[in-house]
Amino acid sequence: MAEQDFGEDMVHHAKDPAGLHLCAFSGDEIVGAVAAYMYEPGAPELADLGLPEVDGLSVQIGKRVESATHRGALLTEQLGTSMMLQVCESLRPDRLFLTLRGAHRGLAERYARRGFVRHADVSSGGEAVTVMTTEGRAAMEEFYITHRSLARRTPDNAPRIPVPSLVRFLAHGERDPLLARSLLEAENVYLEPMALEDELPRLRAQSRLMIAEQRPRLEATPFPSPPASLLDIGTGPGDHLAALAKEAPFSGYRVGGVEPSLQLLARARSAHPELAVRCGSAYATGEPDASHDVVTASFLFIHLRNPDLALLEIWRVLKPGGLLYVVDVNDGSFRGPGVIRRAVDAHAHHYPGDRTILTDLPRRAEEFGFALEHRFTTTVRNTGCSEPAVKEDEILLERHHAWGLLSFIRSQKVTEDMFRQAEKHYFRTECEISVDFETHVYRKPAPRHSR
């Protein structure tokens, strides 16, 4: 570390025992490290750095060092991006800041490119310190989106480092209170940008199609025998859950759901009074520990900012041996002309959820202890006739109907224009498009002795 000219202050920090440290190992040796330190409002250290009060958490990105043997491997670049992303996702701070001691012009410029603004130059211990921050809801959101895109991209000539989940680390390390559950619960990234009246008919049509697509998947899944209990998360207007509850594998099941939107909850209750639907979110369902044999999530995971926190909650409410049954679209599989692909990608960049999460979900679920037992793929194509045709592993839709699959792009102001250009191209040409729906079945393994 000394060889790289890092002073003691960069390597040690007064809050080290309370900080978060993300390290890369080669064998037993730490070859790269990034740290973050948390400050509650009113912390004197913030005032010392000339930082004004903010209501919520301030997080300092405090340490970023790479051993000489691994210099050039972009280790801390990747660790830093991942740390900042996971901190934003799970702690939801109001402010991120860092301090640069001495003349670190190059570093200041690098952080400025990452969204940090030079806040003040102060003096600390007789040394000049530059304080850089990013703060406020809008700036933090932009920062989050930028770092998520950077994290998704593998840096040139560098191996991608698999970074463990901060949610899991905090929850298992008894630092659960740090997780910003209530802020995450208050957010519904699916509903916020759209008009419910446009979305409900689309959702109803999707439910009808999906139940036909799902029937063979449900039959192929070894659901526990009744009496058993099923919890659906993100039930929405309830049409899909009501149809699911009538399918053979769930005969004799107690079926219930949770939904955070009060508007959708009211619809589900009045249209399907037989369902026990409560207010609750994927991050905090309000259900007791180990209370369900099956948890279902249909078109939910793509709308979550923090899928890891949902996996933690699902693990908690599932009985040992229970199943998590996930159905969702994977936009990473989209195939079509460049102009449409670019609109899909632009939406993916700006959307706080993740419409490609199913690519990564098996790895993440495994980290929480789940075992992937089945993965089914159905390709939806725009080459069908007036009535949708549900075949084995394939759904054929009529061209106009298929275009409705991409209506989500219009829901964001920033991608509205791209959507219009894509639409023009789609209806002017005979182009083919397709995208995959996936079904994942995960098991929460039962401890050996209870099998």
Ligand X SMILES: C[S@@+](CC[C@H](N)C(=O)[O-])C[C@H]1O[C@@H](n2cnc3c(N)ncnc32)[C@H](O)[C@@H]1O
Q: Which of 54, 203, 209, 275 binds ligand X (CB under 6 A)?
A: 203
51 neighbors 95 (Cβ within 8 angstroms): yes
319's enclosing H/E stretch is strand 318-335
Which residues between 40 and 79 bind ligand X (CB under 6 A)? none
Shortest CB 191 distance to ligand X, Å? 5
Smaller CB separation from ligand X, 268 or 343: 268
Q: Residue from 242, 304, 380, 405 that binds ligand X (CB under 6 A)?
A: 304
All residues at 6 or more sequence positions from 422 whose CB lies less than 8 Å from its CB, including other chains? 339, 340, 342, 343, 406, 409
Nearer to ligand X, 66 or 259 (CB): 259
CA dist 268 and 276 (Å) reads 9
- DSSP for 371-439 reads EEEEEEEEEEES---SS-EEETTEEE--HHHHHGGGGGGGGSGGGHHHHHHHHHHHHHS----EEEEEE
Closest CB 269 distance from ligand X, rounded Å: 13
Going from the C-alpha of 372 to that of each of 132, 186, 256, 378, the distances in angstroms are 43, 30, 24, 18
Taking the least distance from each CB to ligand X, the nearer of 115 and 234 is 234
Compare residues 60 and 214 and give the one whose CB is closer to ligand X: 214
Contacts of 54 (CB under 8 A, 6+ apart): 41, 94, 95, 135
**CA distance linking residue 265 with residue 277, whole number of Å:** 7
Question: Closest approach of Cβ 176 to ligand X, in Å?
Answer: 18
Looking from the CA of 126 toward its CB, the CA atoms found within 13 Å total 0
Nearest residue (CB) to ligand X, 99 versus 306 = 306
323: tokens are 């199943």
Q: How far is Cα 83 from Cα 91, in angstroms, rounded to an integer?
A: 11
Q: How far, CA to CA in Å, does 334 sit from each of 66, 151, 264, 329, 375?
A: 38, 21, 29, 10, 18
299 binds ligand X (CB under 6 A): yes
Nearer to ligand X by C-beta: 257 or 384? 257
In the complex with ligand X, the residue whose CB is nearer, 229 or 235, is: 235
Q: How far is the CB of 297 from ligand X (least distance, A)?
A: 7
- Coil, helix or strand for 222? coil
Residues 226-245 within binding reach of ligand X (CB under 6 A): 233-236, 240
Among 11, 150, 191, 209, binds ligand X (CB under 6 A): 191
**Which position among 86, 298, 378, 415 is part of the footprint of ligand X (CB under 6 A)?**
298
Binding footprint of ligand X, residue count (CB under 6 A): 22
Q: How far apart are CA 347 and CA 238, in angstroms?
A: 27
Query: At closest approach, how far in Å is the CB of 101 from ligand X?
Result: 41
Angle (deg, nearest 10), helices 137-152 and 75-91: 140
What mask, x for binding ligand X by CB under 6 A, covers residues 248 to 287?
Answer: -----------xxx--x----------------xxx----
Give whichever of 188 and 379 is closer to ligand X, judged by the CB atom. 188
- 347 contacts 318 by C-beta, under 8 angstroms: no
Does residue 207 touch ligand X according to CB under 6 A? yes
- The residue from 97, 190, 376, 408 that contacts ligand X (CB under 6 A) is 190
Alpha helices in 69-104 (DSSP H): 75-91
Least separation in angstroms between CB 133 and ligand X: 29
214 lies in the binding site for ligand X (CB under 6 A): no
> Of 50-58, 64-72, 159-167, 296-304, which segment contacts ligand X by CB under 6 A?
296-304
Nearer to ligand X, 46 or 277 (CB): 277
Q: What residues line the site for ligand X (CB under 6 A)?
A: 188, 190-191, 203, 207, 233-236, 240, 259-261, 264, 281-283, 298-300, 303-304
